[in-house]
């Protein structure tokens, strides 16, 4: 059961949530990580990695703004 209130933001995003948050595909994210163009993930367990939400927010803030 999820006990978070609507105002709480998770501190980390796993490999399934990160593409949804960024709009990038998984392979693009991993390529950008290898090129140091995307935040490095954090290993939570032997099989689980995640990205710090603060790192993703900072990366997103530095991206060019699109205007139409």
pLDDT tens-digit readout, 8-46:
778 999 999 999 999 999 999 999 999 999 999 999 999
Distance of CA 42 to CAs 15, 30, 33, Å? 11, 13, 12
What pLDDT, on the 0 to 100 scale, is given for residue 9? 76
What pLDDT, on the 0 to 100 scale, is given for residue 48? 95
Structure-block tokens of residue 39: 């935040």
Neighbours of 52 (CB within 10 A): 15
Say what the pTM is: 0.80
pLDDT band for 4, please (50, 70, 90 cuts): low
What pLDDT, on the 0 to 100 scale, is given for residue 31? 98
Q: Is 59 within 8 Å of 40 (Cβ atoms)? A: no
State the greatest distance between any 2 C-alpha atoms of the chain, in Å, as a whole number.
43
């Amino acid at each position: 059961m999820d006990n978070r209130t609507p105002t709480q933001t998770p501190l980390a995003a796993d490999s399934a949530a990160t593409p949804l948050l960024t709009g990038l595909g998984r392979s693009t994210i991993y390529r950008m990580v290898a090129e140091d163009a995307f935040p490095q993930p954090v290993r939570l367990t032997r099989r689980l990695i995640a990205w710090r939400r603060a790192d993703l927010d900072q990366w997103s803030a530095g991206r060019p703004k699109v205007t139409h």
